[in-house]
Amino acid sequence: MSDQANLTRDEAALRAAQLDVPRTIVHLDLSSDDGSADIRTFRSRSELHVVARTAAPIFVDIVAASIENVTIDGQRLEDPAHAAGRISLPSLAEGPHVIVVEATMEYSRDGRGLHRFVDPTDGLVYLHSQFEPFHALQVFACFDQPDLRTSFEISVDAPAGWVVVSNEPTIDTPADGSAGRWTFAPTPRISTYLAAVIAGAYDAVTDSYDREDGSAVPLRWFVRRSLRAHLEDEELFDLTRAGLTWFESVFGRYPFTKYDQLFVPEFSAGAMENPGAVTFTESYVFRSKVTDGIRERRAETVLHEMAHMWFGDLVTMRWWDDLWLNESFATFMSVLAMSEATRWKDAWVTFLDAEKTWAKFQDQLPSTHPVADEMPDVESVHQNFDGITYAKGASVLRQLVAWVGQDEFLAGCRDYFERHAWGNTTLSDFLGALERTSGRDLSPWRDEWLKTTGVNLLSPVVTLDDDGSYADVTIVQSDPVPLWRTEDHHGILRRHRIAVGVYDRLEGHLERRTRVELDVVGARTSVTELIGQRAGDVLLLNDDDLTFARIELDGASLATVTDHLSEFRDPMPRAQVWSAAWDMLRDATLPATGFVALITKKPRARRGRHPPTSADARLRCGRTVCSTE
- Amino acid (one-letter) located at 185: A
Q: Residue 185: in which H helix or E strand, if any?
A: none
Q: What is the pLDDT of residue 385?
A: 79
Candidate from 129-133, 361-365, 442-446 with smallest mean pLDDT: 361-365
In tens, the pLDDT along 516-538 reads 999 999 999 999 999 999 999 99
Q: What is the pLDDT of residue 485?
A: 59
Q: What is the pLDDT of residue 79?
A: 86
Q: Which residue has the higher pLDDT, 623 or 548?
A: 548
Task: Calculate what percentage of the chain has a pLDDT beyond 90.
Answer: 89
Q: What is the pLDDT of residue 386?
A: 87
Query: Is residue 625 pLDDT above 50, yes or no?
Result: no
Query: Is residue 449 pLDDT above 70, yes or no?
Result: yes
Q: What letters, b where the CB count within 10 A reaches 16 and e where it falls short, cover 570-607? A: bbbbbbbbbbbbbbbbeeeebeeebbeebeeeeeeebe
What average pLDDT does this structure show over 405-413?
A: 98
The domain segmentation of the chain, as residue ranges, is: 1-200, 315-450, 457-617
Backbone angles phi, psi at 12, to 5 degrees: -65, -40
Query: Is residue 615 pLDDT above 60, yes or no?
Result: no
Average pLDDT in the chain: 93
Q: What letters, b where the CB count within 10 A reaches 16 and e where it falls short, cover 355-393? A: bbbbbbbbbbeeebbebbbebeebebbeebbbbbbbbbb
Burial of 148 (0-12, 13-18, 19+ CB in 10 A): buried
Largest CA distance in the chain: 93
Q: What is the dihedral of CA 516, 522, 523, 529, to 10 degrees?
A: -20
In tens, the pLDDT along 109-123 reads 999 999 999 999 999
- Nearest in space to 152 (alpha carbons), one of 122, 121, 129, 179: 129
Q: What is the pLDDT of residue 486?
A: 53
Candidate from 256-265, 314-323, 362-371, 456-465 with smallest mean pLDDT: 362-371
In tens, the pLDDT along 212-251 reads 999 999 999 999 999 999 999 999 999 999 999 999 999 9
User: 1-200 and 315-450: same fold?
Assistant: no
**CATH number of the domain located at residue range(s) 315-450 in this protein:** 1.10.390.10
What average pLDDT does this structure show over 349-367?
A: 93
Q: What is the pLDDT of residue 461?
A: 98
Distance of alpha carbon 309 from alpha carbon 305, whole angstroms? 7
Sign of CA dihedral 55, 59, 61, 65: positive
Query: Is residue 481 pLDDT above 90, yes or no?
Result: no
Q: What is the pLDDT of residue 487?
A: 58
Distance of alpha carbon 330 from alpha carbon 312, whole angstroms? 9
In tens, the pLDDT along 560-594 reads 999 999 999 999 999 999 999 999 999 999 999 99
The residue count of the chain comes to 629
Task: Calculate what percentage of the chain has a pLDDT beyond 70.
Answer: 93
Rg (CA), the chain: 27
Q: What is the pLDDT of residue 66?
A: 96
**Catalytic residue at 305?**
yes
Q: Which residue has the higher pLDDT, 157 or 1?
A: 157
Q: What is the pLDDT of residue 548?
A: 97
Query: Is residue 74 pLDDT above 60, yes or no?
Result: yes
Q: Which one of 47, 132, 305, 327 is the catalytic residue?
A: 305
Q: In what order do the strands lie in the sheet with 524-526?
A: 524-526, 470-478, 457-464, 550-551
In tens, the pLDDT along 189-200 reads 999 999 999 999
pLDDT band at 491 (very low <50, low <70, confident <90, very high): confident
Q: Tell me 85's DSSP state.
A: T
Cα-to-chain-centroid distance, residue 491:
29
CA end-to-end distance (rounded Å), the chain: 23
CB 338 within 8 A of CB 297: no
In tens, the pLDDT along 598-613 reads 999 865 544 443 433 3
Distance of alpha carbon 449 from alpha carbon 372, whole angstroms? 9
Q: What is the pLDDT of residue 610?
A: 41
Query: Is residue 1 pLDDT above 50, yes or no?
Result: no
Q: Which residue has the higher pLDDT, 480 or 176?
A: 176
What average pLDDT does this structure show over 72-76?
A: 96
Per CATH, which fold does 1-200 belong to?
A: Immunoglobulin-like (2.60.40)
Q: What is the dihedral of CA 242, 244, 249, 250, to 10 degrees?
A: 110
Q: What is the pLDDT of residue 484?
A: 58
What's the count of helices (H) and strands (E) in the chain, helices before strands? 15, 30
CA distances from 132 to 299, 353, 405, 548 (A): 22, 29, 33, 29
The reported pTM is 0.93
